[in-house]
Structure 1
Amino acid sequence: MSAAPVTTVPGAALAMPHHRLHEDLQALATGTLFVALGVVVFGHAGLLTGGTAGIAFLVHYGTGLSFSLAFFLVNLPFYVFAWRRMGPAFTVKTFAAVGLLSLFSWLLPQGLGFDYLSPALAAILGGLLCGAGMLIVFRHGASLGGLNIVVLYLQERLGWRAGKVQMVMDGLIVLGALWMTDWQRVAWSVLGAVVLNLALAINHRPGRYMAM
């Protein structure tokens, strides 16, 4: 698979140009750092998010295992699907992105703290940071693993909007947290998932992005 996905628009096939290696490296580092900061914001307020990050949060809250390790382990089964369906380049970049996110989400709390962070602000700020970071990663032919791989595959093959599909999956994952936390935190987590996926739905559309 090419470094940037091939996208179709009505009446024409539009092939996206390749990014250079240093551009991909910069984007993966920047995008995963944004998402890691969003994850730290969510975690500080006791909120969750969707996707494999949400599953990792559930493992973290339920077992005490660090989010970084849980996130890395949860993603392992999805690499086989990514290799077969999305290609080796996508899979290698995704593995790198997942590794960077695991590393950054472990490092950031050691140099960053909050005296006070309201759940409402955490939901909005965390959602926007994660959404912006995921957009950067997506646009360089990678994902953050797990359900992101499935969502991008459905958009590439069936034209299903990534943000809308992700929103449905994320909502189900966040609602699944009702058995281990209070409904107020779940409600704020749902808001965070909505903010995140609206950013994806509005900005990650087939035919809209041209790599430069």
Structure 2
Amino acid sequence: MKHFIFLLFGCLLTAIGVTILGQLQIVTGGTAGLALSSSYIFGLPFYLLFFLINIPFYVFSVLRMGWNFTLSTILSVSMLSTMTYFSYLLPEMTLTPFFGGVLGSVLIGFGLSTLFLNGSSLGGANILALYLQKKFDWDPGKVNFLFDFVVVLSGFYYLGLLNGMYSVMSIAIYSIIISYFKNQIKERNHQKGKQLVLKTS
């Protein structure tokens, strides 16, 4: 139950952050960024695209991270998709792009860190970042930033230069927050891995 509450809290923070950025047309990274970008281009709802884009990454997750992590990730993706579906009920926020970009990014950074610390993710590059940390001890914040930077660059054409720069600022902020928790993320997931081995032995 405690694990579920942490996942719910992490998804709630991320959902509010994504909603703020979406209202300001600032793109975030990863599969959430791809879904947000695609929603602008194709006029389809974010929650549907976000869920569909993540499906191929689940295969990699099962093979490399195990069923517990994958099922936890599917749960987190489903919760975030549901939360963003109801985001239309929220009032339009009158925030400046800079302040809104900072606020949304900080919320996403703490939301993702909460999920990572509890053996979950939001799919896509999140899965790869945690796998590379587990396998090669790479900083998940920096790995996320590299992938997210590519996603944001692809959105410069329709976002415009100013919103594109705010988007780069956004991924930098939440990547720094994730990097701050990298040692705790590594230790917590290492402990979960040991507990799983003990249960199955």
Q: How does 1:130-141 map to 2 (within 5 A)?
A: 130-141=108-119
Q: CA deviation digits over 1:30-58, x for unaligned, max 9?
A: 10000000000100111000011111011
What CA distance in whole angstroms lies between the structure 1 residues aligned with 2:91 and 2:114?
Answer: 23
Whole-angstrom CA distance in 2 between matches of 1:130 and 1:207: 16
Normalising to structure 2: TM-score of the pair? 0.90
Q: CA deviation at 1:202?
A: 1.3
Aligned twin of 2:18: 39
Distance in 2 between residues matched to 1:121 and 1:106, nearest whole Å: 24
The alignment status of 1:24 with 2:32, answered yes or no, reads no
User: Cα RMSD over matched residues?
Assistant: 1.4
Amino acid corresponding to residue 72 of structure 2 in structure 1: K
Q: 1:154 to 1:208 in 2, by over 3 A?
A: closer
1:104 aligns with 2:90: no
Residues 1:150 and 2:128 aligned together: yes
**Structure 1: which 5+ runs fail to align?**
1-21
> In the alignment, is residue 173 of structure 1 matched against residue 151 of structure 2?
yes
Distance 1:117 1:207 in 2: 32
SS, match of residue 95 in structure 1: helix
Distance 1:208 1:63, change over 3 A: closer
User: Could you tell me how far apart the structure 1 residues matched to 2:19 and 2:86 are?
Assistant: 10
Query: Helix, strand or coil for the counterpart of 1:65?
Result: coil
In the alignment, which residue of structure 1 is the partner of 2:70?
A: 91
Partner of 1:65: 44
Whole-Å Cα distance in 2 between the matches of residues 131 and 159 of structure 1? 20
Identity of aligned residues (%): 34
Query: Residue 155 of structure 2 aligns to a residue in which SS?
Result: helix
> SS in structure 1 opposite 2:183?
coil
- In the alignment of these two chains, the number of paired residues is 189
Shift of 1:112: 3.8
Give how far 1:203 is off. Answer: 1.6
Report the TM-score when normalising by structure 1: 0.85
After the TM superposition, list the runs of 4 or more consecutive aligned residues in structure 1 that deviate by more than 3 angstroms.
206-211
Contact 1:40 1:109 in 2 (8 A): no
Instruction: Identify the residue that residue 14 of structure 1 maps to in structure 2.
Output: none
Paired residue for 2:97, among 105, 113, 119? 119
- Counterpart for residue 3 of structure 1: none
**Aligned partner of 2:36: which letter?**
F
